[in-house]
Each structure stands twice: as C-alpha cells, then as structure tokens.
Chain A
C-alpha cells in the first residue's frame, strides 16, 4: 500500500465538491448566475484535481494506491481508510468527468431553486466519490447511504410528471437493499472478529478471509440484494425507468453513468473476492438473470413510446451484459465487464444528455412528437448517430471493446450463454436504429420542430469529451485495460484457486501461454469444472 503523492489526493478529490457546496450555502439565492458559475468551476476543479489518478497511477503495481488511513471510530474498529486500484480510479475519473458534464448541462434547464439544486449535485458528487475510494466497509456504507439523499431530492424536486412517486420508489428500493446489505457487512465483521480477534471493517483484510460456505451463501444473498437493486438486475429493475424518466437530465446522466456502477462496483469489490465460493455457486443464477435482463430489457425498450424510458430500458439490457461478463469469472470477462461499465457511463450518459437537449427545447419526451430532426439539427443528429453506434457496439467505438471481451469471456465458460447474450446485440441494433429513424429521419411533419436550434456551444462542450472517449476506447483501449490488470487479478486469485496472476504481456506469455503458472494442478477437485478463468 502506498501513496504515490505527498498530499492526500483522494480526500482532496472527495471534498472538493463538498467545499463548493459549502460556499454555495453562503451565496444569495437570487444571484443565480453566480451560483451556476461557482458550481461549474467547482466541478471543473473537481475534475482537474482527479487527473493525477490517471497520470500518477502506477498500472503495474498490485498495491492499493493513494492510500490515506486515519482512525475514525476506534471503539468498533472503523477507520477513515481510502485507496484505489485501477478499477476504482477509473470509476472516480468517470464520476468527476460526468459531474462536470451534468452540472454544465443544467445551466438553462434548471431555473427554480437553483441554489439548492447545485448544492445537492455537489453533495452527490462527494457521496459517489467517497463510495468508490473507501477501503473501510462501514465508511463505504455511509457514503452509499449518503448519496441516496441528494438524488432523492433531485428527482423529487426538479423532476417531471410523476416525480414524487419515482423519487420515493428509488429511495425505498435502494434502502431495502442496503439494509439487508448492512446485515451482510456485520456478518463478515463479526466473523472476522471470531477468527482473528480483531474488530475491523478493513476491506483488504476481508479479502483474505476464508469464510465457511454456508455463511458465504447467506452473506452473498444479502450483498446481492443490495447491489442487484442498484445495477439494476432483472427483476429488481422497475425503479430505474421511473427514476430516469422523471429525473432532470443531469440526474439521469449521473444515475446512468455513475450510480448504477455502484452496484457492479460492489459485486467486484465485495461479493466476488470476499465470498468466492458462494460466487461460484451462484454463477448460473446470476448469469441466468443477466441474460434475461439483456433480452428482456432490449425487447421492452423496443416497445417504448417515451424516448427517455427507451434509453432507460436499454440500460437494463446493457447492465445485464456487464453482470454476465463479470460472472464469467474469467480475466477477459471481468476486464470486459469493467470496460463496459465505463462505456455504459459514456454512451448512456450521452444518450440521456441528448434526450435532455430536445426535451429542453420541446418539453416532451414522446418519440412520436419528433421526426426529421436530421434536417433541422444536423450536428445534433451526427452526435446522436455516434452515440447510437457506440451504444450498439459498432467497432472503432467503445461499446464494441466491452461487448467483445464480455462475450469472449463468457463464451469459454458456456457457449449457449454467449449465444443467448449475443442476441441482445441484434435486438440492440433494432431498437436503437428504430429510435433513430423515428426521431431523426423522415419528413419534418410536426411544425413545432421546424425552428429548433442546433447544438449550442455549451451543449457541444458536454458532448465533446464523451465523443473523444468513445473513439479513444474504441481505437486504443490499451491504457484502460492495462490499468485494470491488477484489479482483475485481485478478483481472479480469489474466485479461482487455479489462477496465478502473471502479467501476460511482460512475461512474453503472449507467445507462449504455458508461461502462465498453473498452481492448481495438485488439487484438481478444487479446480472448478467451468472451462474458464485461469
């Protein structure tokens, strides 16, 4: 464990948005433009201070990086313990970037209770970053709960139509999941005390814990409920379309890009390495639910008349893909799963931004209200095309990299699962292109659409980084994949006893796969029958 810098980077990243929120408290609520400027500048600084996570990160090191450790509640062993690996570093970067974009896209969209809005947005940022960088399970849980509150108000106050119903649904769903999850955390906590005599919430200690299978099984279920709701996995997904549809644009963007990743992050950080045997036992179940989610989400998306709800259901489908890759429990599958989490943040975040652009102009999300926008808003149509292609996994864009890794990763485990999941790619093309056709192509037969202005400079500024990322990951994903090596290894050594981490590239193993040490030979019974994961 190390800190690559001489200042507490993670705390700085985490508290920068909160500092902005505190400053906003003292600003007169009628100086709305000043509030907007302060919020935007804070988010911008928040992104800039997070950049060392990219530039000073040591991809080759298997240790936790930028670690900061202080006592918090010594009586129960809880600590203020922060640190990241490649996986969480990338998610934090995604969070700070999406924070800038979400706050920037709200400039003209939010005109009421401006001050409160930006305060909630900034507090939400702190909550999300905190959850990703916490290495103390209790601290994680606190942040996990903290971010619920601002999101609840963002949907409930600045949302549309059915906002109260959606906000409460979102809140209760997550709360039920997290209460059960807390029980699971406590079970691990007390078990750890039982075998070591130490009270701690230190995740790195938990990662070395070998719990009996029966206990793992129950704890897995408890974690599963908490995380699966957040992902969301079928059949716990119904809060998502409502929350997305009624949230303000920025809320949807953050929800899709970052909040959903909490669930998948939880699985990879906690469920898999802490509960490896239970994870293996649950593979068929989780894979089954994921595949149902992929196909079901895609089909239901096809039936939507509401643009935003369509994108929301496509999220269900894509997150099913993320879960499937993860539960392949192969290095390729897990890498793909993580890459796809970033991709989903980029593409779906952008798709929600795109809906927001026309919603702000027309105040309707109904697909039938649009048509022929290519002619009126050509730049908008071009951006939408790129993001549609990214979402349906066109090679040279980011989505393809994630999908191909996930499907290849699951293919070596079970060919039928891969084939079933791949149908989602066909359906994805169908519903997205149909959406594109209905909104962008055809004649402009709704006179209300005739004078819509094309993208403004501010709107361009929100899309440009996402387009660059989509192309970058599509053409040259190596820097991202390299950063994930050790994160994936950390999970793999736990879920597959036959797996010995060897950096394939450095050892020249690409040429001779035999260089991968196989230390599971002695105990063949312990080697899972699944073909994958070494």
Chain B
C-alpha cells in the first residue's frame, strides 16, 4: 500500500512517454503497448493494494509523498491556521473501490481502443493514447487525493483531458465547440468548488478529508437552518453538478458525444462524470450535517433523472440516448446521496460504470460496423450481423433496466428503497424514471438490433453518406465498407468482460430482504462517517420496512421495468407504425423533447449572448471612454500647446519683436543725427547746454 502513489503515476508516465517521444518516434503498436502496459500496471497495483486493504485492521492508509504548498500562516474562523496542501494519497474503502473501477474499466477501454482507433493516422493514434493515459493519471489522482486541493488537481485535469478528447477530431467545428463548452461549463461548477474549498479551510483550518470530517462531526447538525456547513456543501455541490452533469449544468454532456466512442464510455459514462458523486461521498460527513442541502441534492438528482429520461425517450442518435441515460443515472446517484444512502450511491456508481461502459462500447461496435453511422433509424436487424455485440448489449440493457439478477437491479433497487423511506414523492419520480429507463433502453435495442435492416446498401459503393462521427480530414477510411460486420476480437473481448461484470457486480450488494448481507454497504461505511462516530455506534439504527414490504417495492419496480420493455417491444417491433402515429399525435410534446426542452437555446440567448455583448460593449467603452479620456487629455494638451504656440508667437514673441522693432525703427530715426559733421554736433551741444541751463534756472529759482 506504500506504493499507491504509483497507481496514478504509471499512466502519467505512459502519457509523458507518448507525449514527448511517441508523437515523434513511436509506431502505432509501440504507443498502444506503452499506454496499455501503463494501465495494466496500474490495475495490478490497484488489485494488490485493494487486497491488502481488505486484510488490514484499520482500513485507511495515508501516503504523503511530498510537500506541495508549504504551510503559510492564515487566519481562520477559529484563530490562526496554516494553509498547506501536501501531495498525499489516501486509500480507504471508497477510494479502493474507485481505483478498481477506474483501472479495471480503463484497461478494458484501452484494449478496445487499440482496435477501435485503428484507422487513425499514426500521429492521431499516439495523441489519443497519450490523452487517454493522461486522463487516467488525473482520474486516479482525483480519487486517491487525500485533501481537497489534490482532488481539485485531478478534477481540473480530467476536465482538460475531457476537453482534449471531445475535441479529438478538432478539424470539425462541432467537436471543438463541444470540447470548449464542456470545459467552460465545468469551470462554472469549479467556481463553486474552489470557493467551497476556501470556505472549508476558513471554517476548519485544514483541507484534509479526514481532518475535515472529524472536525465537522463535532459540530451541530444544521437542522432547519442554512449555516456555514450548508454553505460549504452548496458550493461543493455546484462543482459536483458541473462535473456530473446535473440540472442546470448538464448541457455539456450530450454534446460531449462528439468525442470518439471509447472516450464516451470511459470519461463520459464510467468515470469522470461520476466524480461529482464521489466528491459528495468523500465529504459525506459534511453533507449529513446539512440536512437542507441533502434535500436539495436529492431533489436535483431526482429531477435530473426524470428530465434526462424524458429526453432519452425520443432521441434517435444511439450515443445521445446513452448520454441522456448517463445524465439520468447520475441523477439516481445524487438522489441516493441526497437521502443519505451514500453507499447505495457508490454501489450504483460502480454497477453503472460496468453496464454503461458496456453499452457505450457496444454502441461503438455498432457504429464501427455501420461505417460511422449513429442514427438508429438507419440501423435495424443488427443482431444478425453482430451476435456478440447484441448479446452483450442485451445484458447491459437488462442491467440498466433493473431486471434481476443483473447488477443494476440491486443497486437501483437499493436507491429506490432508501428513497422510499426518506421521501415518497421523490420515490415516485424515481420509479417513473425507472420505467422510462427500461423503455428507452429497450427502444434502443429494438431499433438497432431488431426489425428490418434500414441502413445503406453496401458493395463497391464504399463510403455511405457521411456519418456523424466521420474521421475524415486525416485521410482515414481508405478501406471500402463491406456491410455491417462483427467487430474484431480486441473489441468484443472487452465487451464480454464488461458484460460479465454487469451480471455479477450486483451480488456484492444483495440486500438482506433477499438473503444477502449487503456487503458493499458495510464495506464502504467507514468512508462516510467520522471515526469517532463509527467507533461509538458501530452500526446505526435507522427506519426500515418489513422484509415483505421491501420485497413488494422490489416487485413493483421490476414490474414497471418489464412494462417499459413490453411497451417498447409493442411500439418498435410489433407495431412500428404506432410509434410514428404517437409522435404525430403529440407533435408538440415530441418537438419539445426532441429539442431537449430548448435549454441550450435558452442558455445561448442569455448567458452566452449576454457575456459576448457585454464583452463587445466594454471593448467599445475601453476604446472610446477610458482610452478616450487619455486621448482627450492628449488632444487637450496639444490644443493648449497650439494656443501657447500662437500666444508665444504673436503675444510673447510679439512683444520681444516689438521692442526690437522699436529699437530698429528708433535707430533709423536717430541715424539721421549721426551725420559725422563736427559743426552739426557743435550746434547740438550748444542747444543741449542752453536747454540744460534753462531747465536748471527754471527749477532752481521758480520751482
């Protein structure tokens, strides 16, 4: 366990190798081998660390690697503290589970990508694996970080990788737009997150998760008030809402499907988007001290689950259905944390990682087979061409729909049950959502794999009409398309592995009502409570129903799921015309749903346009007012200089010249006297003496 810092570092090294040397020197094979080896190593280390953790008495292990931000004195609410953040990693049940999910699914997706990205040119291929490794580095840093700031490093880092991978085919404007949108929307969330971090430090004087939890445990629960802990939780939750695509910041995730499908599977389904749930779980003690915030979390989760599910009902792009499904399932996870069922949220996070990665990779396999076609209306009868993909995706569908004994059933049912205990209104929303989930997933399966084949014909034609995920621009796709086909072994093997996971992952959380011990909940519990509380209470008492009632709820949700599947079967297999008639009958509602409630348009008209026009407005102000004042001053200076110049030339200098002139003119007058004749001077002298004497006598005797 001393080596857990190597778990993130290995993919980091892989990324560095591919990034620094790979783009220049590595062949495609070498690049893929480096990336996969790094992930494999990280997976191996994670397994070893996890096993050690299971065997350890005290299931928490802290490794401090180095100082990052050294301590600097700073005022806090309770006196002077030291602001600091070490590079430290913490392995505990929650992070242990997460590293297995990230490295496990990450490794499978690396393998899958080797084949999926095969027709990329070498440069792009190496770049792809560099980014994918870099993502895993940051994701594992996020998960293992022992304080909020190290988590934030991972948090922002995965955002960067998401940006780079969504915009991987950057020559397409839609792709680079989507990447930018993801980053900026996430930054809005991060704005809340970082302020939350500052408030945590100000309140508790530390950023370490464990220390914060212990300190918070000693504070009163903010029942009925919205105190400082509630404010912290609100700010942190804003961050979670951005990263995990909840209302109102979910808009980036559907657009993120512009990225290559393995990216959608790894980042935008299995791992990164669940970081928000993970972060809330990491700060469970804070959240349990803020019941008002818990309610907000639960309501946002339930509403997001429902809203996304309704949009998912009508989408025709196979990846977009899955994207909205992801938003919806993340809503479930937040609902769980909001009702205090942190373990159930984390459990669903894990099962979802399996079946949603599976579904995405399966859709990628279909898209691959259909020559980059993503529109389900142009598919159909694919089960005849790709049996492995069909079977594995079928398992994924049953899992997400909540059909026993597949994994989704156990985790989702745990959430529904705990929600029922807490708030029946939210439970109602969640059950309706569960029905819709089953419906849209079954619809996806039926439209894709059943019915008539509706796609383009193949043969010598080669390129079909351009799919949305065209790899063009870099000379890709030189090979002609020979019709839908099963994907290569490197792609189907990960599907099978994930399918196995989707089947069995649920068994670690079988509830007591079904004779299980819900082991995952007991395993994860220490991560969600303060140590003191854990030691005192051991197991905590809470409301529960009789087993019979619990089984009744279970039966109800299974029935609803089956109903959803049956309805989809009727509308898309037996009577396809009926679905079209339904869409026509409810054209208004259908249009609103197809256009995703016009939320993107709303944001565009308000936030985006508002920012842009204030930017342009201020630029005008800057040129004309602020700089105008400067130039005005300059102009005034020059104007007064001109005036001075005129005054100088004609008044001041004029006076000078006047004096000169008088002298000159005077001299002309007096020159006449200078005749040079002595007798003239004598006469003048005589007159002078005479005048002087006269003057003297006058003054002397008459004055």
Contacts and interface: CB of A to CB of B under 8 A. Distances in A.
Interface of A: 169, 172-173, 234-235, 237-239, 296, 299-304, 330-332, 335, 372, 374-375, 378, 382, 389, 394-396, 400-401, 404-405, 407-409, 411-412, 415, 418-419, 422-423, 425-427, 429-430, 433-434, 437, 440-443, 475-478, 481-482, 502, 504-505, 509-510, 513-514, 516, 518, 531-534
Interface stretch (B101-109, B169-177, B265-273, B434-442): B169-177
Contact of A423 (B71, B74, B160, B191): B191
Contacts of B386: none
A408 B198 contact: yes
B79 A505 contact: no
B431 to A, nearest CB: 37
A378 B171 CA distance: 13
A296 B617 CA distance: 11
B183 A433 contact: yes
B202 A411 contact: yes
B455 interface: no
A273 to B, nearest CB: 18
A426 B74 contact: no
Interface residues of B, number: 63
Given A304-B619, A378-B23, A476 B183 contact: no
A396 B15 CA distance: 15
A492 B73 CA distance: 11
Interface string B36-80: 000000000000000000000000000000111111111110011
Contacts of A412: 74-76, 198, 202
A442 B194 contact: no
Interface-central residue, B67, B80, B82, B180, by most chain A CB under 10 Å: B80
Q: Which 9 pairs across A and B sit closest by C-beta, in order of nearness? A: A303-B619, A395-B153, A441-B176, A302-B615, A238-B627, A411-B198, A441-B170, A303-B615, A510-B71
B205 A513 contact: yes
B317 interface: no
Contacts of A169: 630, 634
A172 B66 CA distance: 49
B520 to A, nearest CB: 31
B274 to A, nearest CB: 20
A68 B183 CA distance: 51
Contacts of A518: 80
A401 B67 CA distance: 13
Contacts of A411: 195, 198-199, 202
A315 B179 CA distance: 25
Contact of A510 (B84, B163, B619): B84
A271 B80 CA distance: 26
Given A442-B170, A510-B82, A481 B72 contact: yes
Interface of B: 19, 23, 66-76, 79-84, 123, 149, 152-153, 156-157, 160, 163, 167, 170-171, 173, 176-177, 179-180, 183-184, 187-188, 190-191, 194-195, 197-199, 201-202, 205, 473, 611-612, 614-616, 618-619, 622, 626-627, 629-630, 634
A502 B73 contact: yes
26 contacts: A169-B630, A299-B619, A302-B615, A332-B73, A374-B170, A382-B19, A396-B157, A404-B194, A405-B69, A408-B197, A408-B201, A411-B198, A412-B75, A412-B202, A418-B198, A425-B190, A426-B191, A430-B187, A433-B183, A437-B167, A441-B173, A478-B67, A513-B76, A514-B80, A516-B73, A533-B75
A410 to B, nearest CB: 9
Contact of B66 (A331, A372, A401, A476): A476
Contacts of A531: 75
Contacts of B198: 407-408, 411-412, 415, 418
B203 to A, nearest CB: 11
A494 to B, nearest CB: 16
A291 B638 CA distance: 34
A426 B176 CA distance: 18
The DSSP consensus for interface residues of chain A is helix
B70 A372 contact: no
Given A331-B74, A418-B195, A426 B187 contact: yes
Contacts of A409: 74
A505 B68 contact: no
A430 B611 contact: yes
A504 B73 contact: yes
B79 A330 contact: no
A514 B79 CA distance: 8
Nearest to B67: A478
Contact of B195 (A303, A419, A437, A510): A419
A332 B70 contact: no
A412 B163 CA distance: 32
Given A412-B202, A419-B195, A395 B156 contact: yes
Contacts of B74: 330-332, 408-409, 412, 532, 534
Contacts of B201: 408
A504 B67 CA distance: 14
A425 B71 contact: no
Nearest to A299: B615
B188 A426 contact: yes
A48 to B, nearest CB: 27
Contacts of A478: 67-70
B129 to A, nearest CB: 15
B618 A303 contact: yes
B152 A395 contact: yes
A504 B82 CA distance: 7
B73 A534 contact: yes
Contacts of B618: 296, 299-300, 303
A156 B371 CA distance: 59
